[in-house]
Amino acid sequence: MTVKKGEAVGLIGPNGAGKTTVFNLISGFYKPTRGDVVFMNEKITGLAPYDVCRKGIGRTFQIVKPFGKMTVLENVMVGGFSRTRNPQECRQIAAEVVEMVGLGSKKDALAKNLTIGDRKRLEVAKALATRPEILLLDEVLAGLNPTEVDESVELIKEINASGITIVMIEHVLQATMAICNRIVVLDYGKKIAEGTPAEVTQDPEVIKAYLGDEYETTVN
């Protein structure tokens, strides 16, 4: 699997296909038994997660666990400290990111009091504060209502337009297709298809493994 700078790539497939495992391998939480992870022409296989982060790879997690007794701004500053040890610089980075994700009016709110939608935005903000070249988004739309999904889709598009490469795992297919210019499909740990959204949604193997016959009927 290869991702080019500036792309927005979707990683889809049924539960248990290995999508989050891919993220864990890239970000250093798992060590591969074979193969390599190469980022910007440098092999980063086996690096610790904090070293991977410093190289320029940021990520979110499916289950969001903010520091509940800290404010929104303080939570984001945690990510900022991966780039600077200067508290003032870190606060400035965090303030900019908080505004970008639409949490500016809640920057002083305790994270434990946020809605699930705002917690998801906070998760993205913490990753953005690390100043990543590539951002791995793991189901950031899960649990959101339709309005929140639409708002988050626009936010992810803005992040990508700012020059940050996006790789996202998502089961909200309509949103994935709206954001990503290329889709990779996994099933049982193997890549079974890759291409544009239109190409993969018409692939018989993808329909069989993930989308289902009902989707095939809808497309046709």
Strand partners, 137: 168
Percent over 90 (pLDDT), the chain: 92
Residue 218 has pLDDT above 80, yes or no: no
DSSP-assigned letter for residue 133: S
What tokens appear for 93 in the block?
């980075």
Given this model, what pLDDT does residue 220 score?
41
Spatial CA neighbour of 10 closest among 124, 32, 150, 1? 1
Q: Could you read off the pLDDT of 23-82 as tens digits, one per residue?
A: 999 999 999 999 999 999 999 999 999 999 999 999 999 999 999 999 999 999 999 999
Q: Could you read off the pLDDT of 173-208 as tens digits, one per residue?
A: 899 999 999 999 999 999 999 999 999 999 999 998
Report field, pTM of the whole predicted structure over 0.75 = yes
What is the pLDDT confidence band of residue 214, given thresholds at 50, 70 and 90?
low
What is the pLDDT confidence band of residue 219, given thresholds at 50, 70 and 90?
very low
Crossing angle (nearest 10°) for helices 87-100 and 116-128: 130
Q: What is the mean pLDDT of the chain?
A: 94
What is the pLDDT confidence band of residue 211, given thresholds at 50, 70 and 90?
confident
Spatial CA neighbour of 75 closest among 101, 103, 128, 111? 111
pLDDT average, residue stretch 140-145? 95
Percent over 70 (pLDDT), the chain: 96
pLDDT average, residue stretch 142-148? 95
| 165, 171, 173, 174: CA torsion to nearest 10 | -90
Which distant-in-sequence residues (6+ apart) come within 8 Å of 114 by Cβ? 66, 72, 106, 122
**Domain map of the chain by residue range?**
1-56+132-220, 65-131
Strand partners, 135: 58, 166
**CATH classification for the domain delimited by 1-56+132-220, as one of 3.40.50.300, 3.30.56.10, 1.20.120.160, 3.30.70.270:** 3.40.50.300
pLDDT average, residue stretch 85-104? 97
User: CA–CA separation, 215 vs 208, rounded Å?
Assistant: 10
As a 3-state breakdown, the chain gives helix, strand, coil percent values, each rounded to 5, of 45, 15, 40
pLDDT average, residue stretch 198-220? 76
Which distant-in-sequence residues (6+ apart) come within 8 Å of 186 by Cβ? 11, 12, 13, 17, 18, 19, 22, 192
pLDDT average, residue stretch 4-21? 96
Query: How far is the CA of 169 from the CAs of 82, 113, 187, in angstroms?
Result: 24, 26, 13
What tokens appear for 190 in the block?
């193997």
Residue 169 has pLDDT above 80, yes or no: yes
Query: How far is the CA of 70 from the CAs of 6, 25, 53, 108, 116, in angstroms?
Result: 33, 30, 22, 9, 16
Given this model, what pLDDT does residue 5 score?
97
